[in-house]
Structure 1
Amino acid sequence: MAADESDAATFSRQLASLKRQGCNVLVVNDRQASDVICERLLGGHDLERRHLFLPTTTPVDEVLDRHRPRRTDPGALGVLDATGANLARSITVDSSTGPELDGAAGDEWYESVDDLSDLEALFESFRTHLERVEPAAPAPGEVRFCLDSIDPFFDAVDEEELFRFVHLVTSAIRERRGMGHFHATATIGNPVLSTIEPLFDATIYVDVGPDGEPKQRWRLHEHDLLTDWFALD
Protein backbone atom coordinates (compact mmCIF):
# COMPACT_ATOMS: atom_id res chain seq x y z
CA MET A 1 0.00 0.00 0.00
CA ALA A 2 2.75 2.48 0.91
CA ALA A 3 6.13 2.80 -0.79
CA ASP A 4 7.71 -0.03 1.28
CA GLU A 5 6.98 -2.20 4.32
CA SER A 6 8.39 0.39 6.71
CA ASP A 7 6.18 3.14 5.28
CA ALA A 8 3.19 0.79 5.33
CA ALA A 9 3.72 0.05 9.01
CA THR A 10 4.17 3.74 9.78
CA PHE A 11 1.00 4.56 7.86
CA SER A 12 -1.02 1.97 9.79
CA ARG A 13 0.29 3.19 13.15
CA GLN A 14 -0.29 6.85 12.41
CA LEU A 15 -3.77 6.24 11.03
CA ALA A 16 -4.72 4.26 14.13
CA SER A 17 -3.36 7.08 16.30
CA LEU A 18 -5.39 9.69 14.43
CA LYS A 19 -8.56 7.64 14.89
CA ARG A 20 -7.92 7.40 18.65
CA GLN A 21 -7.09 11.07 19.11
CA GLY A 22 -9.66 12.57 16.75
CA CYS A 23 -8.89 13.81 13.26
CA ASN A 24 -10.06 15.62 10.15
CA VAL A 25 -9.40 14.64 6.55
CA LEU A 26 -9.74 16.44 3.24
CA VAL A 27 -11.18 14.32 0.41
CA VAL A 28 -10.37 15.63 -3.06
CA ASN A 29 -11.17 14.95 -6.72
CA ASP A 30 -13.46 12.32 -8.27
CA ARG A 31 -17.06 12.62 -7.02
CA GLN A 32 -18.05 9.02 -7.73
CA ALA A 33 -15.19 7.66 -5.68
CA SER A 34 -15.77 10.35 -3.04
CA ASP A 35 -19.26 8.96 -2.41
CA VAL A 36 -17.76 5.53 -1.76
CA ILE A 37 -15.14 6.77 0.69
CA CYS A 38 -17.72 9.01 2.37
CA GLU A 39 -19.62 5.88 3.39
CA ARG A 40 -16.42 4.44 4.87
CA LEU A 41 -15.62 7.60 6.80
CA LEU A 42 -19.13 7.82 8.26
CA GLY A 43 -18.63 4.43 9.90
CA GLY A 44 -20.31 1.08 9.50
CA HIS A 45 -24.08 0.74 9.77
CA ASP A 46 -23.73 -1.55 12.76
CA LEU A 47 -21.53 0.81 14.78
CA GLU A 48 -22.61 3.28 17.45
CA ARG A 49 -22.03 6.66 15.80
CA ARG A 50 -23.38 10.21 16.07
CA HIS A 51 -23.50 12.15 12.80
CA LEU A 52 -23.59 15.81 11.83
CA PHE A 53 -23.93 16.76 8.16
CA LEU A 54 -23.37 20.10 6.43
CA PRO A 55 -24.52 19.54 2.84
CA THR A 56 -23.91 22.40 0.39
CA THR A 57 -24.66 20.52 -2.85
CA THR A 58 -26.30 17.19 -1.92
CA PRO A 59 -30.11 17.28 -1.43
CA VAL A 60 -31.12 16.53 2.14
CA ASP A 61 -33.37 13.66 1.03
CA GLU A 62 -30.31 11.99 -0.50
CA VAL A 63 -28.31 12.57 2.67
CA LEU A 64 -31.07 10.96 4.73
CA ASP A 65 -31.49 8.02 2.34
CA ARG A 66 -27.78 7.24 2.59
CA HIS A 67 -27.86 7.65 6.36
CA ARG A 68 -30.96 5.60 7.20
CA PRO A 69 -29.22 2.26 7.78
CA ARG A 70 -27.56 4.03 10.72
CA ARG A 71 -29.23 5.60 13.76
CA THR A 72 -31.94 8.07 12.78
CA ASP A 73 -33.13 9.37 16.13
CA PRO A 74 -32.73 13.15 16.53
CA GLY A 75 -30.35 12.68 19.44
CA ALA A 76 -27.79 11.08 17.14
CA LEU A 77 -28.23 13.13 13.95
CA GLY A 78 -27.97 16.75 12.89
CA VAL A 79 -28.27 18.36 9.46
CA LEU A 80 -27.26 21.94 8.62
CA ASP A 81 -28.80 22.25 5.17
CA ALA A 82 -26.89 24.79 3.06
CA THR A 83 -28.06 23.53 -0.33
CA GLY A 84 -30.30 26.56 -0.81
CA ALA A 85 -27.82 29.09 0.54
CA ASN A 86 -27.42 32.52 -1.01
CA LEU A 87 -25.69 35.68 0.12
CA ALA A 88 -28.80 37.73 0.77
CA ARG A 89 -30.34 35.96 3.77
CA SER A 90 -29.24 34.68 7.16
CA ILE A 91 -29.52 31.40 9.01
CA THR A 92 -33.09 30.42 9.83
CA VAL A 93 -34.89 27.42 11.23
CA ASP A 94 -38.16 26.54 9.51
CA SER A 95 -39.77 23.45 10.95
CA SER A 96 -42.88 23.98 8.81
CA THR A 97 -40.98 23.25 5.61
CA GLY A 98 -38.09 21.20 6.98
CA PRO A 99 -38.04 17.45 6.38
CA GLU A 100 -39.20 14.86 8.88
CA LEU A 101 -37.16 11.93 10.09
CA ASP A 102 -38.97 8.87 11.39
CA GLY A 103 -41.72 11.03 12.83
CA ALA A 104 -39.38 13.60 14.39
CA ALA A 105 -40.13 17.20 13.48
CA GLY A 106 -37.47 19.03 11.53
CA ASP A 107 -36.77 21.58 14.25
CA GLU A 108 -35.33 18.82 16.45
CA TRP A 109 -32.43 17.93 14.16
CA TYR A 110 -32.63 20.09 11.01
CA GLU A 111 -31.55 23.67 10.34
CA SER A 112 -31.65 25.63 7.11
CA VAL A 113 -28.59 27.70 6.24
CA ASP A 114 -29.32 30.55 3.86
CA ASP A 115 -26.06 32.52 3.98
CA LEU A 116 -22.67 30.88 3.54
CA SER A 117 -20.94 34.22 4.06
CA ASP A 118 -22.02 34.50 7.72
CA LEU A 119 -19.48 32.05 9.05
CA GLU A 120 -19.82 33.23 12.64
CA ALA A 121 -23.51 32.32 12.69
CA LEU A 122 -22.82 29.09 10.82
CA PHE A 123 -20.22 28.00 13.34
CA GLU A 124 -22.56 28.75 16.25
CA SER A 125 -25.21 26.57 14.63
CA PHE A 126 -22.62 23.86 13.99
CA ARG A 127 -21.49 23.95 17.61
CA THR A 128 -25.08 23.84 18.90
CA HIS A 129 -25.87 20.72 16.89
CA LEU A 130 -22.53 19.12 17.72
CA GLU A 131 -23.15 19.58 21.44
CA ARG A 132 -26.66 18.18 21.01
CA VAL A 133 -25.60 14.94 19.31
CA GLU A 134 -22.41 14.21 21.24
CA PRO A 135 -22.69 11.78 24.17
CA ALA A 136 -21.49 12.71 27.64
CA ALA A 137 -18.24 10.80 27.16
CA PRO A 138 -17.73 10.18 23.43
CA ALA A 139 -15.64 7.20 22.45
CA PRO A 140 -12.91 7.73 19.84
CA GLY A 141 -14.52 8.15 16.44
CA GLU A 142 -18.06 8.09 17.81
CA VAL A 143 -18.86 11.60 16.56
CA ARG A 144 -18.64 11.92 12.75
CA PHE A 145 -18.95 15.07 10.61
CA CYS A 146 -19.34 15.40 6.85
CA LEU A 147 -19.21 18.53 4.69
CA ASP A 148 -20.18 17.26 1.24
CA SER A 149 -18.47 20.09 -0.70
CA ILE A 150 -16.38 22.95 0.60
CA ASP A 151 -16.14 24.50 -2.88
CA PRO A 152 -19.18 26.85 -2.55
CA PHE A 153 -17.40 28.65 0.29
CA PHE A 154 -14.59 29.69 -2.07
CA ASP A 155 -16.81 32.29 -3.74
CA ALA A 156 -18.81 33.19 -0.62
CA VAL A 157 -15.98 34.28 1.70
CA ASP A 158 -12.32 35.24 1.54
CA GLU A 159 -9.45 32.91 2.37
CA GLU A 160 -8.82 34.31 5.85
CA GLU A 161 -12.45 33.91 6.90
CA LEU A 162 -12.65 30.38 5.53
CA PHE A 163 -9.36 29.43 7.19
CA ARG A 164 -10.66 30.58 10.57
CA PHE A 165 -13.99 28.77 10.11
CA VAL A 166 -12.35 25.48 9.11
CA HIS A 167 -9.92 25.83 12.01
CA LEU A 168 -12.80 26.25 14.48
CA VAL A 169 -14.75 23.32 13.06
CA THR A 170 -11.80 20.93 12.92
CA SER A 171 -10.71 21.91 16.43
CA ALA A 172 -14.19 21.23 17.82
CA ILE A 173 -14.18 17.78 16.22
CA ARG A 174 -10.73 16.92 17.59
CA GLU A 175 -11.74 18.05 21.08
CA ARG A 176 -14.41 15.33 21.00
CA ARG A 177 -12.04 12.74 19.52
CA GLY A 178 -14.37 12.67 16.53
CA MET A 179 -13.70 12.22 12.83
CA GLY A 180 -14.54 14.91 10.31
CA HIS A 181 -14.20 14.80 6.56
CA PHE A 182 -14.55 17.61 4.04
CA HIS A 183 -15.06 16.95 0.34
CA ALA A 184 -13.58 19.20 -2.36
CA THR A 185 -13.84 18.93 -6.13
CA ALA A 186 -11.22 21.63 -6.67
CA THR A 187 -7.73 20.34 -7.34
CA ILE A 188 -4.94 20.63 -4.80
CA GLY A 189 -3.43 23.40 -6.92
CA ASN A 190 -6.39 25.63 -6.07
CA PRO A 191 -4.95 28.52 -3.99
CA VAL A 192 -7.79 28.54 -1.43
CA LEU A 193 -7.63 24.79 -1.00
CA SER A 194 -3.86 25.00 -0.58
CA THR A 195 -4.39 27.56 2.19
CA ILE A 196 -6.74 25.41 4.26
CA GLU A 197 -5.19 21.99 3.56
CA PRO A 198 -2.64 22.26 6.42
CA LEU A 199 -5.57 22.40 8.88
CA PHE A 200 -6.30 18.74 8.13
CA ASP A 201 -4.52 15.71 9.50
CA ALA A 202 -4.65 13.92 6.16
CA THR A 203 -5.60 14.39 2.54
CA ILE A 204 -7.30 11.55 0.70
CA TYR A 205 -7.03 11.60 -3.07
CA VAL A 206 -9.76 9.53 -4.71
CA ASP A 207 -10.15 8.47 -8.32
CA VAL A 208 -11.62 5.78 -10.55
CA GLY A 209 -9.15 3.47 -12.28
CA PRO A 210 -9.26 2.23 -15.90
CA ASP A 211 -11.20 -0.80 -14.67
CA GLY A 212 -13.93 1.47 -13.28
CA GLU A 213 -13.09 0.61 -9.68
CA PRO A 214 -12.56 3.42 -7.14
CA LYS A 215 -9.10 3.85 -5.64
CA GLN A 216 -7.55 6.00 -2.95
CA ARG A 217 -4.25 7.53 -1.94
CA TRP A 218 -3.52 9.06 1.47
CA ARG A 219 -1.14 11.78 2.60
CA LEU A 220 -0.55 12.00 6.35
CA HIS A 221 0.52 15.57 6.92
CA GLU A 222 2.49 15.33 10.16
CA HIS A 223 4.90 12.77 8.72
CA ASP A 224 4.51 13.87 5.08
CA LEU A 225 3.80 10.24 4.27
CA LEU A 226 2.21 9.57 0.88
CA THR A 227 0.86 6.09 0.12
CA ASP A 228 0.65 4.43 -3.25
CA TRP A 229 -2.77 4.09 -4.85
CA PHE A 230 -4.79 1.20 -3.42
CA ALA A 231 -8.30 -0.16 -3.79
CA LEU A 232 -11.19 1.58 -2.11
CA ASP A 233 -13.18 -1.42 -0.92
Structure 2
Amino acid sequence: MSPEHGSSGSEYEEMTALVQELDALKQRGSNLLVVGSRMPAAHEAACRQFLGESTTQARRRLFVLTDPCASVSKRLSAEAPGSDRRSVLRYDAASRSAAVAPSQPSISASERRVKGDLGSLGVAISEAIAEFEATSSGLSPAELRLCFDSLTPLVSEYDSEPVFRFLHLLTHRVRSVDGMAHYHLTTERSNRTVGLLEPLFDAVIELCLRGDTLYQRWYLRDSGLTTGWLQL
Protein backbone atom coordinates (compact mmCIF):
# COMPACT_ATOMS: atom_id res chain seq x y z
CA MET A 1 0.00 0.00 0.00
CA SER A 2 1.22 3.53 -0.63
CA PRO A 3 0.01 7.01 0.33
CA GLU A 4 -1.63 9.26 -2.19
CA HIS A 5 0.55 11.35 -4.48
CA GLY A 6 1.89 14.46 -2.80
CA SER A 7 1.46 13.15 0.74
CA SER A 8 2.49 15.47 3.56
CA GLY A 9 4.66 14.73 6.57
CA SER A 10 1.58 14.07 8.69
CA GLU A 11 0.39 11.47 6.16
CA TYR A 12 3.80 9.82 6.30
CA GLU A 13 3.49 9.62 10.09
CA GLU A 14 0.01 8.18 9.65
CA MET A 15 1.36 5.48 7.34
CA THR A 16 4.15 4.68 9.79
CA ALA A 17 1.63 4.30 12.61
CA LEU A 18 -0.51 2.01 10.44
CA VAL A 19 2.45 -0.22 9.57
CA GLN A 20 3.30 -0.53 13.26
CA GLU A 21 -0.29 -1.47 14.06
CA LEU A 22 -0.31 -4.10 11.30
CA ASP A 23 2.95 -5.61 12.55
CA ALA A 24 1.36 -6.03 15.98
CA LEU A 25 -1.76 -7.60 14.47
CA LYS A 26 0.37 -10.11 12.57
CA GLN A 27 1.94 -11.30 15.81
CA ARG A 28 -1.24 -11.76 17.84
CA GLY A 29 -3.73 -12.66 15.11
CA SER A 30 -6.37 -10.42 13.60
CA ASN A 31 -9.73 -10.23 11.87
CA LEU A 32 -10.41 -7.48 9.33
CA LEU A 33 -13.75 -6.41 7.87
CA VAL A 34 -13.46 -5.15 4.27
CA VAL A 35 -16.40 -3.04 3.06
CA GLY A 36 -17.36 -1.32 -0.18
CA SER A 37 -20.27 -1.81 -2.54
CA ARG A 38 -20.19 -3.05 -6.12
CA MET A 39 -16.41 -2.94 -6.57
CA PRO A 40 -15.30 -6.52 -7.30
CA ALA A 41 -11.89 -5.43 -8.60
CA ALA A 42 -11.23 -3.49 -5.40
CA HIS A 43 -12.19 -6.43 -3.21
CA GLU A 44 -9.99 -8.79 -5.24
CA ALA A 45 -7.03 -6.41 -4.98
CA ALA A 46 -7.52 -6.06 -1.24
CA CYS A 47 -7.76 -9.83 -0.96
CA ARG A 48 -4.41 -10.33 -2.67
CA GLN A 49 -2.87 -7.81 -0.29
CA PHE A 50 -4.21 -9.49 2.85
CA LEU A 51 -3.36 -13.02 1.71
CA GLY A 52 0.30 -12.00 1.77
CA GLU A 53 3.29 -13.13 -0.23
CA SER A 54 4.81 -16.56 0.24
CA THR A 55 8.26 -16.25 -1.28
CA THR A 56 9.94 -15.61 2.08
CA GLN A 57 7.34 -16.91 4.56
CA ALA A 58 5.12 -19.99 4.61
CA ARG A 59 1.41 -19.35 4.15
CA ARG A 60 -1.59 -21.60 4.65
CA ARG A 61 -4.52 -20.07 2.82
CA LEU A 62 -8.13 -20.91 3.59
CA PHE A 63 -10.90 -19.61 1.33
CA VAL A 64 -14.53 -19.60 2.43
CA LEU A 65 -16.64 -18.78 -0.62
CA THR A 66 -20.37 -18.09 -0.46
CA ASP A 67 -20.70 -16.95 -4.07
CA PRO A 68 -20.93 -19.94 -6.46
CA CYS A 69 -19.22 -17.86 -9.15
CA ALA A 70 -16.32 -16.73 -6.95
CA SER A 71 -12.86 -17.60 -8.26
CA VAL A 72 -9.88 -18.33 -6.03
CA SER A 73 -7.41 -17.62 -8.84
CA LYS A 74 -8.39 -13.94 -8.99
CA ARG A 75 -7.48 -13.59 -5.31
CA LEU A 76 -4.03 -15.12 -5.53
CA SER A 77 -0.80 -13.52 -6.65
CA ALA A 78 1.29 -15.24 -9.32
CA GLU A 79 3.77 -16.58 -6.77
CA ALA A 80 1.18 -18.29 -4.57
CA PRO A 81 2.01 -21.93 -3.74
CA GLY A 82 0.12 -24.97 -4.96
CA SER A 83 -3.06 -26.48 -3.60
CA ASP A 84 -1.23 -28.45 -0.88
CA ARG A 85 -1.11 -25.22 1.14
CA ARG A 86 -4.58 -24.12 0.19
CA SER A 87 -8.06 -25.17 1.22
CA VAL A 88 -11.35 -24.00 -0.29
CA LEU A 89 -14.79 -24.30 1.29
CA ARG A 90 -17.92 -23.40 -0.67
CA TYR A 91 -21.15 -22.63 1.16
CA ASP A 92 -24.55 -21.72 -0.23
CA ALA A 93 -26.54 -19.96 2.49
CA ALA A 94 -29.70 -19.76 0.39
CA SER A 95 -29.88 -23.52 -0.26
CA ARG A 96 -30.56 -24.34 3.40
CA SER A 97 -34.17 -23.19 3.13
CA ALA A 98 -34.95 -24.50 -0.35
CA ALA A 99 -37.45 -27.34 -0.52
CA VAL A 100 -35.51 -28.79 -3.43
CA ALA A 101 -31.87 -27.80 -3.71
CA PRO A 102 -31.13 -26.21 -7.07
CA SER A 103 -28.47 -27.69 -9.29
CA GLN A 104 -25.04 -26.43 -8.28
CA PRO A 105 -21.94 -25.95 -10.40
CA SER A 106 -19.27 -28.58 -10.14
CA ILE A 107 -16.28 -27.89 -7.94
CA SER A 108 -12.66 -28.94 -8.26
CA ALA A 109 -11.21 -31.89 -6.39
CA SER A 110 -9.34 -29.53 -4.05
CA GLU A 111 -12.57 -27.84 -2.92
CA ARG A 112 -15.19 -28.94 -0.43
CA ARG A 113 -18.86 -28.03 -0.46
CA VAL A 114 -20.39 -27.37 2.97
CA LYS A 115 -24.11 -27.92 3.55
CA GLY A 116 -26.32 -27.04 6.50
CA ASP A 117 -26.56 -24.07 8.82
CA LEU A 118 -23.94 -21.67 10.13
CA GLY A 119 -22.95 -24.17 12.80
CA SER A 120 -22.00 -26.68 10.10
CA LEU A 121 -19.97 -24.03 8.31
CA GLY A 122 -18.18 -23.09 11.52
CA VAL A 123 -17.24 -26.71 12.18
CA ALA A 124 -15.92 -27.12 8.62
CA ILE A 125 -13.76 -23.99 8.94
CA SER A 126 -12.39 -25.08 12.32
CA GLU A 127 -11.55 -28.52 10.93
CA ALA A 128 -9.76 -26.99 7.94
CA ILE A 129 -7.66 -24.87 10.31
CA ALA A 130 -6.91 -27.96 12.42
CA GLU A 131 -5.71 -29.79 9.31
CA PHE A 132 -3.31 -26.94 8.59
CA GLU A 133 -2.09 -27.10 12.19
CA ALA A 134 -1.43 -30.83 11.88
CA THR A 135 0.37 -30.70 8.53
CA SER A 136 2.59 -27.79 9.57
CA SER A 137 3.30 -29.08 13.11
CA GLY A 138 1.79 -25.89 14.50
CA LEU A 139 1.10 -22.61 12.75
CA SER A 140 3.44 -19.63 13.07
CA PRO A 141 2.00 -16.13 13.63
CA ALA A 142 0.30 -14.88 10.44
CA GLU A 143 0.93 -18.19 8.64
CA LEU A 144 -2.80 -18.83 8.37
CA ARG A 145 -4.50 -16.42 5.97
CA LEU A 146 -8.27 -16.76 5.74
CA CYS A 147 -10.41 -15.07 3.10
CA PHE A 148 -14.18 -15.04 3.71
CA ASP A 149 -15.90 -13.95 0.51
CA SER A 150 -18.45 -12.89 1.31
CA LEU A 151 -20.56 -12.13 4.39
CA THR A 152 -23.25 -10.53 2.24
CA PRO A 153 -25.25 -13.75 1.56
CA LEU A 154 -25.13 -14.59 5.26
CA VAL A 155 -26.59 -11.28 6.43
CA SER A 156 -29.23 -11.56 3.70
CA GLU A 157 -30.30 -15.09 4.62
CA TYR A 158 -29.92 -15.15 8.41
CA ASP A 159 -31.02 -12.90 11.26
CA SER A 160 -28.35 -10.69 12.78
CA GLU A 161 -28.03 -12.69 16.02
CA PRO A 162 -26.89 -16.03 14.51
CA VAL A 163 -24.51 -14.20 12.15
CA PHE A 164 -22.99 -12.28 15.06
CA ARG A 165 -22.65 -15.47 17.11
CA PHE A 166 -21.08 -17.34 14.18
CA LEU A 167 -18.53 -14.58 13.58
CA HIS A 168 -17.79 -14.26 17.29
CA LEU A 169 -16.74 -17.92 17.39
CA LEU A 170 -14.88 -17.78 14.09
CA THR A 171 -12.83 -14.69 14.95
CA HIS A 172 -11.77 -16.33 18.22
CA ARG A 173 -10.77 -19.49 16.33
CA VAL A 174 -8.56 -17.45 14.00
CA ARG A 175 -6.90 -15.66 16.92
CA SER A 176 -6.29 -18.99 18.67
CA VAL A 177 -3.68 -19.81 16.01
CA ASP A 178 -2.46 -16.19 15.55
CA GLY A 179 -3.94 -16.21 12.07
CA MET A 180 -5.00 -13.30 9.89
CA ALA A 181 -8.50 -13.34 8.43
CA HIS A 182 -10.36 -10.83 6.31
CA TYR A 183 -14.06 -10.82 5.57
CA HIS A 184 -15.66 -9.10 2.58
CA LEU A 185 -18.99 -7.31 2.97
CA THR A 186 -20.26 -5.60 -0.16
CA THR A 187 -21.96 -2.61 1.40
CA GLU A 188 -21.15 0.95 2.39
CA ARG A 189 -19.25 1.83 5.56
CA SER A 190 -22.34 3.64 6.87
CA ASN A 191 -24.58 0.58 6.58
CA ARG A 192 -26.23 -0.56 9.81
CA THR A 193 -24.84 -4.08 9.43
CA VAL A 194 -21.27 -2.75 9.49
CA GLY A 195 -21.94 -0.96 12.77
CA LEU A 196 -23.44 -4.12 14.24
CA LEU A 197 -20.52 -6.38 13.28
CA GLU A 198 -17.67 -3.90 13.74
CA PRO A 199 -16.98 -4.73 17.45
CA LEU A 200 -15.96 -8.25 16.40
CA PHE A 201 -13.11 -7.02 14.21
CA ASP A 202 -9.72 -5.47 14.84
CA ALA A 203 -10.19 -3.07 11.95
CA VAL A 204 -12.62 -2.04 9.24
CA ILE A 205 -11.15 -1.28 5.81
CA GLU A 206 -13.28 0.87 3.53
CA LEU A 207 -12.63 0.62 -0.21
CA CYS A 208 -13.10 3.39 -2.74
CA LEU A 209 -12.64 3.71 -6.50
CA ARG A 210 -11.63 7.11 -7.90
CA GLY A 211 -11.29 6.99 -11.65
CA ASP A 212 -9.07 3.98 -12.29
CA THR A 213 -7.35 4.12 -8.89
CA LEU A 214 -8.30 2.04 -5.86
CA TYR A 215 -8.04 3.45 -2.35
CA GLN A 216 -8.47 2.14 1.16
CA ARG A 217 -9.19 3.79 4.50
CA TRP A 218 -8.49 2.01 7.79
CA TYR A 219 -10.42 2.25 11.05
CA LEU A 220 -8.50 0.43 13.81
CA ARG A 221 -10.54 -0.45 16.88
CA ASP A 222 -8.08 -0.65 19.79
CA SER A 223 -5.83 2.29 18.91
CA GLY A 224 -8.62 4.45 17.51
CA LEU A 225 -6.47 5.22 14.47
CA THR A 226 -8.35 6.30 11.35
CA THR A 227 -6.27 6.86 8.24
CA GLY A 228 -6.88 9.04 5.25
CA TRP A 229 -7.39 7.49 1.82
CA LEU A 230 -4.35 5.36 0.91
CA GLN A 231 -3.71 3.90 -2.52
CA LEU A 232 -4.35 0.16 -2.58
Alignment correspondent of 1:77: 86
Aligned length: 213
Q: Which moved more, 1:178-187 or 1:6-15?
A: 6-15
CA–CA distance in structure 1, aligned partners of residues 218 and 149 of structure 2: 19
Alignment correspondent of 1:214: 214
State the 1:45 CA deviation: 4.5
Identity value in percent: 30
Query: Which residue identity is paired with 1:181?
Result: H
* Correspondence for 1:37 among 38, 41, 46: 46
Q: Which moved more, 1:136-145 or 1:176-185?
A: 136-145
Structure 1 residues 71 and 84: alpha-carbon distance in aligned structure 2, compared to 1, 3 A threshold: farther
> Structure 2 length as normaliser, TM-score?
0.82
CA–CA distance in structure 2, aligned partners of residues 167 and 198 of structure 1: 10
State the 1:27 CA deviation: 0.6
> What SS does the aligned partner of 2:195 have?
helix
Alignment correspondent of 1:49: 59
Q: Per-residue displacement from partner, 1:207-227 (whole Å, max 9, x unpaired)?
A: 1123x1111111111122110
Asked if 1:86 corresponds to 2:85, the answer is no
Alignment correspondent of 1:132: 131
State the 1:136 CA deviation: 2.2
Query: Which residue identity is paired with 1:205?
Result: E
Q: Per-residue displacement from partner, 1:35-58 (whole Å, max 9, x unpaired)?
A: 111101111142420011111126
Please, which runs of 5 or more residues in structure 2 have no aligned partner? 4-8, 99-105
Alignment correspondent of 1:27: 34
Alignment correspondent of 1:92: none
Please, which runs of 5 or more residues in structure 1 have no aligned partner? 90-96, 101-105
Query: Which residue identity is paired with 1:219?
Result: Y
CA–CA distance in structure 1, aligned partners of residues 115 and 121 of structure 2: 10
Structure 1 residues 197 and 84: alpha-carbon distance in aligned structure 2, compared to 1, 3 A threshold: closer
State whether residues 44 and 75 of structure 2, in contact with CA within 8 Å, keep that contact through their aligned partners in structure 1. Answer: no
> What SS does the aligned partner of 1:187 have?
coil
What does residue range 99-178 of structure 1 map to in structure 2 within 5 Å? 99-100=108-109, 106=110, 110-115=111-116, 118-134=117-133, 135-178=136-179
CA–CA distance in structure 2, aligned partners of residues 12 and 98 of structure 1: 38
Structure 1 residues 3 and 86: alpha-carbon distance in aligned structure 2, compared to 1, 3 A threshold: farther
CA–CA distance in structure 2, aligned partners of residues 28 and 65 of structure 1: 18
State the 1:64 CA deviation: 4.2
CA–CA distance in structure 2, aligned partners of residues 231 and 38 of structure 1: 14
CA–CA distance in structure 2, aligned partners of residues 66 and 204 of structure 1: 17
State whether residues 114 and 121 of structure 2, in contact with CA within 8 Å, keep that contact through their aligned partners in structure 1. Answer: yes
Structure 1 residues 77 and 23: alpha-carbon distance in aligned structure 2, compared to 1, 3 A threshold: same
State the 1:197 CA deviation: 1.2
State whether residues 204 and 219 of structure 1, in contact with CA within 8 Å, keep that contact through their aligned partners in structure 2. Answer: yes
RMSD (CA atoms) = 2.4
CA–CA distance in structure 1, aligned partners of residues 28 and 181 of structure 2: 12
Query: Which residue identity is paired with 1:34?
Result: H
Structure 1 residues 183 and 44: alpha-carbon distance in aligned structure 2, compared to 1, 3 A threshold: same
Q: Per-residue displacement from partner, 1:186-222 (whole Å, max 9, x unpaired)?
A: 1233222221111110111111123x11111111111
State whether residues 63 and 147 of structure 2, in contact with CA within 8 Å, keep that contact through their aligned partners in structure 1. Answer: yes
> What SS does the aligned partner of 1:120 have?
helix
